[in-house]
A = this chain, B = another copy of it.
Amino acid sequence: MKQLKDRIRKDGRVLNGDILKVDSFLNHQIDVVLLDEIGREFKRRFEGEKITKVLTIEASGIAIACMTARHYGVPVVFAKKARSGNIGANVYTSVVHSFTYDRNYDITVSKQYLSADDSVLIVDDFMANGQAMHGLIDVCEQAGAKVAGIGIVIEKGFQDGGRRLREKGYHLESLAIVEKMDPENGIVFREQ
């Protein structure tokens, strides 16, 4: 998606340790006009797939999920990190390992909001090792829901989360795939 790649080139900052900061438009300040275009692009790329829910994980995934779901007119469900006192016991849970913080956390989704009747589009802002995505897929499998597609805004193509999901046969669409990056030379995107 050219508009997105141009924006990453213009406003993204590459820090040491494989960190790409895009918090000026994607995950702290949010450019909703761009996100609306991102949602429209996901809809185009998953054309023909029946989508009944858009699933993501808090916090920054929520913005992307909402601006995608509105093009379908279907609800968003967001997985919560760790167990909240108010969420109740009737939840699907999965354990996610965060390489960034080197710790495990639980994600939870209420059983009320995901079922075998659902055909789910999972979206998130980033994919690197794919740990959070595996947790979300696990939750869908527990519910018996179909994973109709996976939409990622920025994939770190030099890490193996995306490759492994494609090998497993998932329909994964990443709007920008970073082939390599470093603070001196900037970002090289994969040709798509």
Contact = CB atoms under 8 A, between A and B. Distances in A.
Nearest to A35: B66
A75 interface: yes
Given A28-B80, A33-B73, A75-B32, A85 B66 contact: no
Interface residues of A, number: 39
Contacts of A100: 85-86
B78 A30 contact: yes
A66 B113 contact: no
Interface in A111-155: 112-113
Q: How many copies of this chain does the complex contain?
A: 2
A185 to B, nearest CB: 21
A181 interface: no
Interface stretch (A55-63, A160-168, A172-180): A55-63
A19 interface: yes
Given A32-B69, A112-B24, A113-B29, A63 B76 contact: yes
A28 B78 contact: yes
A67 to B, nearest CB: 6
Interface string A64-101: 01110110011111101000011100000000000011
Contacts of A112: 24, 29
B28 A113 contact: yes
A110 interface: yes
A29 B69 CA distance: 12
A49 interface: no
A6 interface: no
Nearest to A72: B32
B113 A75 contact: no
